[in-house]
Structure 1
Amino acid sequence: MASLGAETTAATTHADHRPKTLADFDPPQKPKRNKFAFACAILASMTSILLGYDTGVMSGAAIYIKKDLKISDVKVELLVGTINLYSLFGAAAAGRTSDWIGRRYTIVLAGAIFFIGALLMGFATNYAFLMVGRFVAGIGVGYALMIAPVYTSELSPAASRGFLSSFPEVFINGGVLLGYVSNYAFSKLSLQLGWRMMLGISAVPSVLLAVGVLAMPESPRWLVMQGRLRDARKVLDKTSNSKDEAALRLADIKEAAGIPQECNDDVVRVEKRSHGEGVWRELFLHPTPTVRHILICAIGIHFFQQASGIDAVVLYSPRIFEKAGIKSDNDKLLATVGVGFTKTIFILVATFLLDRIGRRPLILSSMGGMILSLAILASSLTIITHSDVKLPWAVGLAITTVISFVAFFSMGMGPIAWVYSSEIFPLRLRAQGASMGVAMNRFVSGIMGTTFLSLYKAMTIGGAFFLFTGIAMVSWVFFYTLYPETQGKTLEEMDVLFGNLNWLRDSKRNKRNSQLNGDGNGNIDGSSNVQSKGPVPGR
């Protein structure tokens, strides 16, 4: 297989068996940024702002909806959390839809569905009407969450794929911040008008995004699956850093799609069309060891991203701050703006680190920081709950650890879940495989959103965060054991990394041997080196 990775990282250069030169030991060059790919990734990822805005705005709007519609805490839980359960339907359908009509038009469809949902929520006259709007908006959110990372990863060169594929999480965080700001701004309006403006105003960006996406090209990998080689080559020429790189990328994609290399790229169309038929059978009924490992990683990373409690913090931050001792509604909303600002800043830090230090170091350090923050937050909230007097130091510690928790989440776990799950599936399985990860993400998020108030009433708010601490500790072990490094690999090379569950032991042994032999290989865990040396069972 032609390897673009050989041009982008020293790790994959060492994977072949030619004599090494001094250039092999030079420090890796800074990844190039293709401006056209950058612009397309921005446009596609902006659809993720829809989920972020809804998540952020609902945390504050729920306060006023409860007062206006006079609903119970259970109904508030359902209102806040069920959009994530509804988005399951959108995420599950988006994989097959994108295989059928293409990645670009699926993004347009996501914006159109969310637009209808936002209007329904903005004009809701009662709780039932509002829940209908939440259902429609949830379908749109599911579509957006699945398709944005897939489109971006398929369009991006390997050298900058981590950077560009993290954009959806950037815009989710930006949307959360905008939602918090909207809460604070519209809270000055009347009770009946304020929350409706908070929810309905999101219809405006959804229209602008749907129109803007029409200016983007289609995914080159989807075009190849349809046999449209000439169109794919045009897109690759624009999104690669050179003509040679575009040719290498096209050769890899053709091989992955099962199109003979002798098929001339100047041919407008070859007889090779795929609309995702038989994918479920390959994923679940008869998976190879490689596909099984990939599926476990994709679903697992989305499960632990949400099970560690991030939505409990983002959706119910006003409640957490109230438990910590902040009583004024305005002060609570202002504190949530600080949370949103922190999430946005640290996700920007993560985007610049993904292609420099890799996925594994970021996710492991991120989870380590989250575990520490959750443990301290749980302890401080427990102390506050059992104290008869206000303890300023405990209040300050609780607020600080809420902010540190979202900071550590945003600098690793937040973006990597979307990047990793969108890049590891084989071409034929990518859209529908990634949709399974998103479905798990939304399912767990929905459970968290609809049960958190009941959970902390049953076991205290401190106890709830101790539970999240335990889950986060399990997730660290899970990631350390099962997740190979994917930095610098092309999408077509990913299957080499998976299928051998003893990869960590083998890579450590190979790294020790490399050091003893003095070959200078400094790969993290040796994963890039080991996994390229031979076929993995089940490929």
Structure 2
Amino acid sequence: MNIFHRKYQDWIKDIPLRLYFLALIATFGGSTVGIDIALVNGAQLFFVKHYQLGATLHGLTTAATLLGALIGSSFSTFINSFVGRKGALGVASFVAVGAGIMEALVNIWGLLLTARIILGVSFGIFSSTVPIYLSECAPARVRGMLTGTYQLSVTLGLFFGAVSDAIFVNVSNGWRFMLGTVIIPPSLCITGLLFTPESPRWLIHKRRYPQALASLRKLRTTEAEAIQDMNSIKENITRTARERSGHGIISKIITIPHIRHALVIGIFLQLSRQLSGVNAMLYYFDVVLRSAGMSVSHAVYVNVAYGAGTVIFTLPMFWIVDRFGRRVLLVYTMPIIACMSLLVGLAFLGSSQIRMALSIVGFLLFRLFYSPSLGPISWVITAEIFPLEVRSECLSICTFFSYAFNFVVSFSFPDMMDQMKTEGAFAFFAGCTIIDWIIFFLFVPETKGLDMEVMDQLFRQSWSSQASQNLKQLDNLFPWFRSSSEATGNTIEAENRNQTITDSIDQSAHKDSSEWNRKVSNKSNEPSSLIINPALPDNLS
């Protein structure tokens, strides 16, 4: 443990402060998404009466941002391509500020609905861009930690939104102040973007090499590290671009097997998040507590405590995601998440006191294991598994499906509670999580510590080969099934197996590079002048 601790400290001290600042500014976008979820939960108690809305229009107004997010995620690809990651965040921030002011001031329901849809457009852009921006700026050794700050920013938004609800709940027209509070995070994002560099990978993709090197110098500790990363990114982007020249973006995604493979994994991760029931809990937290017998005021206070717990439970992710890996966290926590959903459902089979006690315990324990695992890890993996030339497009597709699944689950949950009862609804989420866990265990590889430029090597093997390889790692993931002495004796063997897997990926990457070089030499004798320093590191991971 001391060795791991020292290694972790070495990672942290080698990260420049500019990179921390960039993560802080970028994740204000996530805070915008989170804070609105909490704010509308409080504001809807008032604007429903103000506009005399029925149940259908009530639900439409509350979830209108999800419809806007589908639009925003669809256009995010084009925005990212033309104005870059920083530019996309700037566009989303200005849209969010304008929509927030509009929904706080309007007196016509139709304009309120329009403002919320526009606000949702910014959510789609934020969700598609922030993970990409963070993953492309971070070095491989801490990419998971920094990309995971997006999930932390969402939880921080949830907490501050709940606090805002509590502050304005007894103020005249307080619901307008609640909705208007949403402009704070994007306003801070606009200011901070003036002092942050653009993604070096996007700049290299656009052949703006001097600006890319300047960006890397700000985001790396040493000049040598910046040049080394510049060479590696440039070499791999140039190689993949030449290999796949003549193919359109959509054609690449559909016809190239390993890109299609990665996209299926990304969509599945977003589906598994929604089928865990997390957003049903967020949007209907007060409703569930009230159905358990809790008063309105107590439900609001519990919601504030729940938001605080969500933030605290997310913090361990920064310490463990790049130490233990993405796959290990999900394999260990998803069964527990399923059990906590089941616990909430079973609570409603008891008396009023049992319902209140067990539902709160279940909600908090659900968050304890969800916040450092499935919540952030699904975005960490999705942001890092796609090649650069299709990364923004694929992440936009994943974001679109995330919001689409969110919309379906959030709107269907009231009907689920009516038709299946609360216990049946949460039992459904528990069963879906177990099924997702089995699929994840079989088909999702570990991505920890791999450079993004060689990440697609993981998805060049077939689904059956990936499942077979993952099954061979059972002893590593569950060592307690073996005897204590056997587990101790096989520690070195397990490490060697992990190294073999990494080496096979490296060999595959070098093999692909050699094949490409032979193809190029057959077509042209012109030497390549695209590399600043032709000496590339042997270990691509």
Shorter-chain TM-score category? 0.7 to 0.9
- Counterparts of 1:150-169 in structure 2, within 5 Å, are 150-169=132-151
Deviation of 1:368 after TM superposition, in Å, equals 1.7
Structure 1 stretches of at least 4 aligned residues deviating more than 4 Å after TM superposition: 26-30, 507-513, 515-520, 522-527, 535-539
1:506 maps to amino acid: Q
Root-mean-square deviation over aligned CA pairs: 2.9
Alignment of 1:50-61 (within 5 A): 50-61=32-43
Structure 1: stretches of 5+ with no match in the other structure: 1-22, 261-270, 385-389
Please, which moves more after superposition, 344-353 or 57-66?
Answer: 57-66
Please name the residue that 1:317 is paired with: 285
**Which amino acid in the other structure matches residue 355 of structure 1?**
D
Q: Is structure 2 residue 495 aligned with structure 1 residue 521?
A: yes
CA 1:451 to 1:511, structure 2 compared with 1: closer, same or farther past 3 Å? closer
TM-superposition CA deviations, 1:49-90 (whole Å, max 9, x none) = 110000111122222222332322332222222311220110
Note the alpha carbon deviations across 1:26-60, whole angstroms, 9 max, x for none.
97874233321111111111111110000111122
1:188 aligns with 2:170: yes
* Residue 483 of structure 2 corresponds to residue 503 of structure 1: no
Any residues of structure 2 matched to 1:335-414 within 5 Å, and which? 335-381=302-348, 383-384=349-350, 390-414=351-375
Preserved CA contact (<8 Å) 2:25 2:188 = no
Q: CA deviation at 1:186?
A: 0.5
Equivalents in 2 of 1:536, 1:68: separation in Å?
65
Q: 1:114 aligns with which of 67, 75, 96?
A: 96
Q: Which amino acid aligns with 2:344?
A: L
1:531 alignment partner in structure 2 = 505
More displaced stretch, 400-409 vs 67-76: 67-76
Contact 1:107 1:147 in 2 (8 A): yes
Q: Distance in 1 between matches of 2:445 and 2:376?
A: 17
> 1:517 & 1:188 partners in 2: Cα distance?
60
- Name the residue aligned to 1:39: 21
- Is the contact made by 1:499 and 1:538 (CA closer than 8 Å) also made in structure 2? no
Of stretches 293-302 and 65-74 in structure 1, the one that deviates more from structure 2 is 65-74
- Displacement of 1:291: 0.9
1:247 Cα shift? 2.1
Deviation sequence 1:389-428 (CA, Å, 0-9, x none):
x442332011110111122211101111111111110011
Once the two structures are superposed, residues 285-340 of structure 1 have per-residue CA deviations (whole angstroms, 9 ceiling, x without a partner) of x1x2211211011111011111221111011110011011102x221111111111
For residue 225 of structure 2, what is the amino acid of its counterpart? E
Deviation string for 1:348-388 (max 9, x for gaps)?
A: 1112211111101112223122101001111112x14xxxx
Q: Do structure 1's residue 206 and structure 2's residue 182 form an aligned pair?
A: no
Query: Share of identical aligned residues, percent?
Result: 25
Give the letter for the 2:434 counterpart. Answer: M
Q: 1:290 to 1:213 in 2, by over 3 A?
A: same
Structure 1 position 254 matched with structure 2 position 228: no
Per-residue CA deviation, residues 71-129 of structure 1 (Å, 9 max, x unaligned), is 22332222222311220110121122101111111100000111111112101313322
Contact 1:48 1:145 in 2 (8 A): yes
Deviation at 1:494, TM superposition (A): 0.3
Name the residue aligned to 1:279: 249
* 1:64 matched to 2:38: no
TM-fit CA distance, 1:536: 11
Aligned pair in 2 of structure 1 residues 331, 426: CA closer, same or farther (>3 Å)?
same
- C-alpha spacing 1:70/1:462, structure 2 compared with 1 (3 Å): farther
d(CA) in 2 for partners of 1:81, 1:523: 48
2-structure distance, mates of 1:510, 1:376: 30
1:463 partner amino acid: G
Instruction: Give the secondary-structure state (helix, strand or coil) at the position aligned to 1:488.
Output: coil
Q: What's the secondary structure of 1:31's corresponding residue? A: helix
Aligned partners of 1:363 and 1:412 also within 8 Å: yes
Q: Counterparts of 1:208 and 1:445 in 2: how far apart (Å)?
A: 27
Aligned-residue offset at 1:516: 8.2
Alignment TM-score, normalising by the size of structure 2: 0.85
Structure 1 Cα separation of the partners of residues 114 and 44 of structure 2? 16
- Gap change, CA 1:175 and 1:518, over 3 Å in 2: closer
Distance 1:330 1:526, change over 3 A: farther
CA distance in 2, matches of 1:352, 1:512: 24
Asked if the contact 1:86/1:138 (under 8 Å) is kept, the reply is yes
CA distance in 2, matches of 1:525, 1:361: 16
Q: Against the structure 1 CA distance between its residues 456 and 517, is the aligned structure 2 distance closer, same or farther, given a 3 Å change threshold?
A: closer
CA distance in 2: counterparts of 1:176 and 1:512, whole angstroms: 39
| Separation of aligned partners in 1, 2:271 and 2:512 | 25
C-alpha deviation, 1:471, in angstroms? 1.2
User: What is the TM-score of this pair, normalised by structure 1?
Assistant: 0.85
Task: After superposition, give the CA deviation of every residue in 1:251-310 in whole Å (9 maximum; x if it has no partner).
Answer: 1211222179xxxxxxxxxx99x9x992122112x1x22112110111110111112211
Q: Contact 1:153 / 1:164 at 8 angstroms: preserved in 2?
A: yes
Structure 2 partner of 1:264: none
CA shift in 2, pair 1:511/1:186, >3 Å: closer
Distance in structure 2 (CA, Å) of the matches to 1:210 and 1:30: 32
> Structure 2 vs 1, CA of residues 238 and 27 (structure 1 numbering), >3 Å: closer, same or farther?
closer
- CA distance in 1: counterparts of 2:501 and 2:63, whole angstroms: 39
Q: 1:76 — aligned with what?
A: 58
Residue among 93, 110, 129 paired with 1:147: 129
Counterpart CA distance in 1 for 2:471 and 2:257 is 21
Partner of 1:16: none
Conserved? CA contact 2:130–2:150, under 8 Å: yes
In the alignment, the residues of structure 1 paired with residue 382 and residue 17 of structure 2 have an alpha-carbon distance, to the nearest angstrom, of 24
1:512 positional shift: 8.6
Q: What stretches of structure 2 of length at least 5 have no aligned partner?
A: 477-488, 514-541
1:517 deviation in Å?
12
Return the alpha-carbon distance in structure 2 between the equivalents of residues 282 and 107 of structure 1.
26
Matched, 1:244 2:244: no
The worse-fitting range, judged by mean Cα deviation, of 441-450 and 523-532 is 523-532
Partner of 2:536: none
Measured in 2, the distance between the counterparts of 1:406 and 1:413 equals 10
- Counterpart in the other structure of 1:6: none
- Distance across 2 between alignment mates of 1:28 and 1:122: 45
Which residue does the alignment assign to 1:418? Answer: 379
Q: In 2, are the aligned partners of 1:48 and 1:168 still within 8 Å (CA)?
A: yes
Counterpart secondary structure, 2:136: helix
Q: Which amino acid aligns with 2:145?
A: F
Deviation at 1:444, TM superposition (A): 1.0
1:444-455 equivalent positions in 2, closer than 5 A: 444-455=405-416
Find the residue that maps to 1:128 and give its secondary structure: helix
Question: Which shifted more, 237-246 or 478-487?
Answer: 237-246
Residue-pair matches, total: 493
CA contact (8 A) 1:496 1:536 kept: no
Q: Which has the higher contact order (CA 8 A, sep 6+)?
A: 1
